[in-house]
Structure 1
Amino acid sequence: MLGIKKYRRAGVGVFMALLFSLIMGNGILKHAVMRVRPCIDYPWMPMLVHVPNVNNFSFPSGHTFGSFAAATVMFSAMKRYWGIAALSLAAAIGFSRIYLFLHYPSDVFAGSILGIIAGAAAWCLSGKLILWMKNTTVIK
């Protein structure tokens, strides 16, 4: 997306949104809240995937956070087909985290809300960054 001029703002926005989700979600919030995953709280439940380490915390869902952040930028850039498809995929990723018993529903809900906020902020900042880059002759 960064290489094609038509989609450059979307590419910058997705990159910024994923960076926001990595820093805020995995870097700050998971270690501040330190919520244990449901598969650790209820060890007798059969698991379909590998059980994460005990120090790999649950809140917020990083997969949901990142997917909703990127999908929000894509929806802002390409509202119709690709934007709706990206949001649908993000919702499916969120559901899969609950289905696989790796997150509580509140983890996924918080990840989706935070992802939408991060994606909207990244979309606004990407427009300002692209405009600044054009005005300072960084890109043509």
Structure 2
Amino acid sequence: MSIELNILDWFQTLHTPFLDKLMVFITSLGNAGIIWIMMTIVFLLIPKMRKTGAIMAAALIIDLLLCNVILKNLVARTRPYDVNTGVQLLVSRLHDYSFPSGHTAAAFASVTALYLAGEKKLWKPVLVLACLIGISRLYLYVHYPTDVLGGALAGAISGYLGYRFIQAIFYRIKQKREGCAKSEE
């Protein structure tokens, strides 16, 4: 853990008023998954994007269960600012556990969902934002590096599982429609 604290302490050497405001803003985009939820709702409202929206919704629900219900409580890792109490926080103290980073997990669940849904123009900028959110969590001293890596992995797994789940549902719907069409002949 000392290596991880050394990495976080190195991030503390990068602080400037501009970067402080930027990182607080970037991390706020991931608060409660709001940006990903809003994106999902927009996609669900656009008929040709509906399947992508369904994949994102499934990915985010799986991510919520995997990260916030299972992993955080199972691992029960103390946040770095509770270990190094001398750090001045730029964001409010959090009341849940540190591993995995929920902000990072939701971001990577969304990236993976977009990538697997074939959204070639969307997944790349979302990947950049996801990486920036992960970095912001380190900069702000609210997560260890392994929390962010664990969040990215959990998010990617959630995105994949969400994609597979929706693919299975769409396959069954297609099978039923084809079965109904054959019976009408």
Q: TM-score, normalised by structure 2?
A: 0.68
In structure 1, the residue matched to 2:163 is 123
1:113 to 153, 160, 166: 153
* Residue in structure 2 matched with residue 17 of structure 1 by the alignment: 59
Q: Any stretches of 5+ residues in structure 1 without a counterpart?
A: none
Structure 2 alignment gaps of length 5 or more: 1-42, 178-185
Look up the match of 1:50.
92
Rounded Cα–Cα distance in structure 2 between residues aligned with 1:131 and 1:104: 40
CA deviation digits over 1:107-130, x for unaligned, max 9?
A: 000110111111112112211212
Q: What amino acid sits opposite 1:16 in the alignment?
A: A
Q: Distance in 1 between matches of 2:151 and 2:113?
A: 15
Q: Aligned equivalents of 2:111 and 2:58: distance in 1?
A: 12
Residue in 1 that maps onto 2:134: 94
Match of 1:38 in 2: 80
Larger radius of gyration: 2
Q: Quote how far apart the aligned CAs of 1:88 are.
A: 1.1
How many Å separate the matches in 2 of 1:52 and 1:117? Answer: 25
Question: SS state of the match for residue 19, structure 1?
Answer: helix
Looking at structure 2, the residues matched to 3 and 48 of structure 1 have their Cα atoms a distance apart, in angstroms, of: 36
Q: Is the 8 A contact 2:55 2:117 kept in 1?
A: no
Deviations 1:8-49 (A, max 9, x none): 211111001100111010001101100000011111111111
Q: Output one character per residue of 1:75-109: Cα deviation in whole Å (capped at 9) or x when no partner.
A: 22244321101111111111111111000000000
Question: Which residue, out of 71, 76, 79, partners 1:29?
Answer: 71
Q: CA deviation at 1:3?
A: 2.7
Number of aligned residues: 135
- SS state at 1:2 partner: helix
What percentage of aligned pairs have identical amino acids?
36
Looking at structure 2, the residues matched to 70 and 23 of structure 1 have their Cα atoms a distance apart, in angstroms, of 15
The structure 1 residue matched to 2:108, chosen from 48, 64, 68, is 68
Pairwise CA RMSD: 1.5
More helix by share: 2
The residue type paired with residue 130 of structure 1 is F
Check whether the contact 2:114–2:123 (CA below 8 A) recurs between aligned residues.
yes
3-state SS of 2:162 partner? helix
TM normalised by structure 1 equals 0.89
Q: Which shifted more, 5-14 or 107-116?
A: 5-14
